[in-house]
Amino acid sequence: MSETKPIPFWKQLRQSVLPSSLDQSREMSPLTASDDDDDPPLAEGDSVTASSAVSLTDGETASLTSASSRTASSRSSIVDSFWGCGIAGFRVGKEELRRRVVIHERLLGAIVEAVRSKDLEAAVEAAAYGGWEEEDPPESPLVVFVNSRSGGRHGPVLKGWIQDLIGREQVFDLSVTMPSDFVQYGLACLERLADLGDYSAKSIRENLRIMVAGGDGTVGWVLGSLGQLSVENREPVPPIGIIPLGTGNDLSRSFGWGGSFPFTWRSAVKRSLYKVVTGPICRLDSWHIIVSVPEGDLVEPPHSLRHLGENTFTQDGNIEGVLPEKVSCFDGVFYNYFSIGMDAQVAYSFHHLRDEKPYLAQGPITNKLIYTGYSAKQGWFFTPCMTDPSLRGLTHILRLSIKKFNTSDWEQILVPPRHVSCLFRISCECSVRAIVALNLHNYGSGRNPWGNLKQEYLEKRGFVEAHMDDGLLEIFGLKQGWHASLVMVELISAKHIAQASAIRLEIRGGEWRDAYMQMDGEPWKQPMNYEYSSIVDIERVPYQSYIVSGE
């Protein structure tokens, strides 16, 4: 008589904890399971998390439509963890995925050759030779960009796994291929072939979606390159999905793609690739920033800022200080946030450490510990103990002006408003050390510092409910580190300053020699001139970006 085979622990856990509806959805899924869905454990030292790149985000992530109650969020986070671990949810068969996304060899070869050689005509001529009428285009063509330098050891391994899933040529390594080259040559190749009557090329160009594996900076880099299509009237703009490989991953969290690289990464990545070609598309505001500084002052700008050369700043009556006759201009685009102050200084120090000693920054947990160390070292938590009062706050070096919605006039805003903190008994005028202009609900690894404000408070302050596509930035301040810590654990909201459709920062030197700034996780150090002002202008880009919802 044979012994009864014991039920595996994970099945007992699923049957006792997960709702039956999840099992039913799995049984009803038309997708087939595959043997290669089984995930090996991560190597020693790798990050271990339980969030999925496809499932609903955890309880810390703000909803795209409305805020959930804390009780509902905590319950959903438990379910999300199981989804991320691969215990529940559908599995995607490799053949089913390839049938949907793989681009025909003829057109794929033309795209790759156009990007590689930057010879558009030769690639078009090679692809046009032959009979394309017999080809059926893929239902949901997909191209993947992988930042192999993100995510520690995850990047290169992830790249190889995706290449095995959908083919080597449909995966572009961003350390080798610039996304701007793909837009300028790869997509242009499809457009040219479509003009010649190639139906397959036309279908692929119109239905193409892009998956980006990287952090917020990588996602912003790709979105900025795709935004050039709107500037050149080359619509449609392909929407993107995200596999989070960064530290904060706030863009990924905001659109339901998860906050970190998933533990069961093989099956989760496969589901992500399926989701990016089937999920609904969301709109996202993007913001254009121009930094005008005395010639030679901006040192080591991030790759997200490009040098526009010398220019003459047009005075419109809103500048209080003195501008040089000639200024150097840099511009870029951000999607989540711009900040100035101590938080940017901490990020700047971390990035330099990672560049100099990459072996020290090998995963999200290690990175957060390094961030905490720099926060304490640079005085973020010891503002009252600083001997020079002028170094305690931004008000001594910064003048803030905004334009409100549907107005063209600048309005000066006190930085910060005069107020005394009841918690620390320290004047905000001296204690605000970071100012953030936020577009999304997520900042600092999924926190919502602006908060879910009540309607009465919004009306009292003249605010409106914050959305990522409303044409407004939420401006708030962080005082010393203790205040920031309470904000980050969502016990209190940040110091609300304003909502604006355009922002101007005038920065002048004094006791400070350098100003630290960052946008979407890309920090830089900017020398401050005692004699002349530096100007930062921010306004909304007239077109929106498109991101696939991972929820």
**Nearest Cα to 220, choosing from 261, 249, 191, 184?**
249
The confidence score (pLDDT) of residue 23 equals: 39
In the numeric block, which tokens belong to residue 21? 């509806």
Residues 6+ apart with CB under 8 A from 500: 402, 403, 404, 437, 472, 473, 475
Q: Is the dihedral of CA 359, 365, 369, 370 positive or negative?
A: positive
**Nearest Cα to 89, choosing from 262, 259, 317?**
262
Residue 42 CB neighbour total at 10 angstroms:
18
Q: Where are the beta strands (DSSP E) in 78-226?
A: 142-146, 171-173, 209-214
d(CA 205, CA 188): 9
Tell me whether the omega of the peptide bond preceding residue 236 falls within 30 degrees of 0, making it cis.
Answer: yes
3-state secondary structure 21-68: HHHHHHHHCCCCCCHHHCCCCCCCCCCCCCCCCCCCCCCCCCCCCCCC
pLDDT in 10s for each residue of the chain, 551 residues: 444 445 544 444 344 434 443 333 333 333 333 434 444 433 333 333 333 333 333 333 333 333 333 333 333 333 333 333 333 345 668 888 898 999 988 999 999 999 999 999 888 888 877 566 667 889 999 999 999 877 666 788 889 999 999 999 999 999 899 999 999 999 999 999 999 889 999 999 999 999 999 888 889 889 989 999 999 999 999 999 999 988 778 888 889 998 877 767 788 888 899 999 999 999 999 999 999 888 766 777 887 788 888 777 666 667 777 777 788 889 889 998 999 988 788 777 766 666 666 656 555 556 556 555 555 555 555 554 444 444 456 777 888 999 998 888 899 888 764 444 443 344 444 467 889 999 988 777 767 888 888 899 888 988 999 888 899 999 988 876 666 667 766 677 778 899 999 999 998 876 667 888 988 878 888 888 778 888 999 999 999 999 999 88
d(CA 260, CA 28): 29
Element (H, E) at 525: strand 522-527
pTM tops 0.85: no
Q: Are 247 and 65 in contact (CB under 8 A)?
A: no
Burial-class residue 465 by CB neighbours within 10 Å (0-12, 13-18, 19+): exposed
142-146 vs 171-173, strand pairing mode: parallel
d(CA 488, CA 289): 26
In the numeric block, which tokens belong to residue 479? 């005082």
Residues 6+ apart with CB under 8 A from 490: 60, 447, 448, 451
Q: Which residue type sits at 525?
A: K
The confidence score (pLDDT) of residue 217 equals: 83
In the 8-state DSSP scheme, what is residue 443? Answer: B
434-438 vs 473-478, strand pairing mode: antiparallel
SS3 content of the chain, % helix, strand, coil (to 5): 35, 20, 45
Q: Are 353 and 328 in contact (CB under 8 A)?
A: no
**Nearest Cα to 287, choosing from 102, 160, 475?**
475
In the numeric block, which tokens belong to residue 311? 């220019």
In the numeric block, which tokens belong to residue 111? 């795209």
Q: Residue 93 in 3-state DSSP?
A: coil
HSE-CB at 160 with a 13 A cutoff on CA atoms is: 4
Q: Are 77 and 59 in contact (CB under 8 A)?
A: yes
In the 8-state DSSP scheme, what is residue 223? Answer: H
Residues 6+ apart with CB under 8 A from 62: 254, 441, 442, 448, 452
212 - beta bridge partners? Answer: 145, 242
Burial-class residue 179 by CB neighbours within 10 Å (0-12, 13-18, 19+): buried
